[in-house]
Structure 1
């Protein structure tokens, strides 16, 4: 590993760790860690603060993942290391030092990373995820289905081995962080899109 590679990975982690959801909510007088799911993500902002702030957070979180990959490319790193920088951004989002190594579930940042790595796979997963959310009104269901589809697509489309491994890690981490949501879905207790926190 060169110094440029180490710098890119650290920068990507720090970029990913910027807790936009927590800071936006705090500006509205809400501690995102104490309401709803407690996650620092756009869905919790939507339920606790509103649509406008949630959209801004979602776009910023997507950009974090994409920027990490693009910056790595700009620094001359190859596809593998650029993808690893995207993964570092997702890890930073999920385990932010600004929030005591807590964070969100990495859905938006994972999508930004995936879209920058492979736009075709990223857009297909995004479209199916959004359709699933619209159909079921469950954000978690859409996120899980999109993650599973992305993992399937990179294998079926015979992407490079390094890309398959990175996407499997991204998808596996996302699904694992949604394990409580899966349990609530199974029990019929998951909140639907648009429901406010109480």
Structure 2
């Protein structure tokens, strides 16, 4: 049984690590890791290549997080394993084996994972994060606020310990991945949503 769980976790990491942003940009002759923030996530793709590629990458990254959890549900009866697979997908996205352990910041993949684990918490994170982005035009701020909101919701609703732990890890990882953004927000140099990436 443990060998099956190990294989599932490895596959979750590899699926999460599929670098859609890097591949979409490469197809258009752009090395996404050398422009803008250097991240392969949807925000940098949108700023660099426009709305179409950006939305396509966002959708793919959300779906791969959700898909990993859904597939794990078909294989295992234990929800802790579903959540661990989702976490591995996010780690795969952030530290992709296909990109020498580089990647994105895990916002979309974390959202897909959270929605699949707990639709209520995931929906709350999405709505609150989106409202924050609309009000501030800072994607980074909205992402961190949304992640924090998801954690607050699972705590308030008294979800099982494993879910609280996984959501806390996801939120903490997301905030850590945004540490440079936090410094730029503090200094007033953070780019707002809609601003083009520097080439």
Asked whether the equivalents of residues 144 and 175 of structure 2 are also in contact (C-alpha less than 8 Å), the reply is: yes
Cα distance in 2 for residues equivalent to 1:10 and 1:99 = 16
User: Normalising by structure 1, what TM-score?
Assistant: 0.98
8 Å CA contact 1:46, 1:54 repeated in 2 = yes
Deviation, 1:5, is: 1.0
Matches within 5 A, 1:2-21: 2-21=2-21
RMSD after superposition: 0.8
Following TM superposition, by how much is the alpha carbon of 1:197 offset from its aligned partner in structure 2, in angstroms?
Answer: 1.5
Q: Partner of 2:87 in structure 1?
A: 87
Q: 1:111 to 1:23 in 2, by over 3 A?
A: same
What is residue 140 of structure 1 aligned with on the other side? 140
Mark the runs of 5 or more structure 1 residues left unpaired by the alignment. none
Deviation at 1:2, TM superposition (A): 2.0
Deviation at 1:153, TM superposition (A): 1.2
Matched, 1:176 2:176: yes
Whether the 8 Å CA contact 2:41–2:105 is kept in 1: the answer is yes
Cα separation, 2, equivalents of 1:16 and 1:197: 25
1:197 partner SS? coil
Query: Are the aligned partners of 2:76 and 2:82 in contact in 1 as well (CA < 8 Å)?
Result: no
Name the SS of the counterpart of 1:196 in structure 2.
Answer: coil
Q: How many equivalent residue pairs?
A: 198
Cα deviation for residue 76 of structure 1 reads 2.3
1:63–1:109 contact (8 Å) kept in structure 2: yes
TM-score norm. by structure 2 comes to: 0.98
Aligned residues of 1:8 and 1:71 also touching (Cα < 8 A): no
Deviations 1:49-94 (A, max 9, x none): 1100000000000011101101111112411000000000000000
In 2: Cα distance, 1:129 partner to 1:76 partner: 31
Is 1:30 the counterpart of 2:36? The answer is no
Partners in 1 of 2:68 and 2:118 — Cα distance?
14
4+ long deviations beyond 6 Å: none
CA distance in 1, matches of 2:25, 2:51: 12
Q: Which residue of 2 aligns with 1:64?
A: 64
In the alignment, the residues of structure 2 paired with residue 194 and residue 19 of structure 1 have an alpha-carbon distance, to the nearest angstrom, of: 23
In terms of mean alpha carbon deviation, does 142-151 or 1-10 score higher? 1-10
Q: 1:11 to 1:77 in 2, by over 3 A?
A: farther
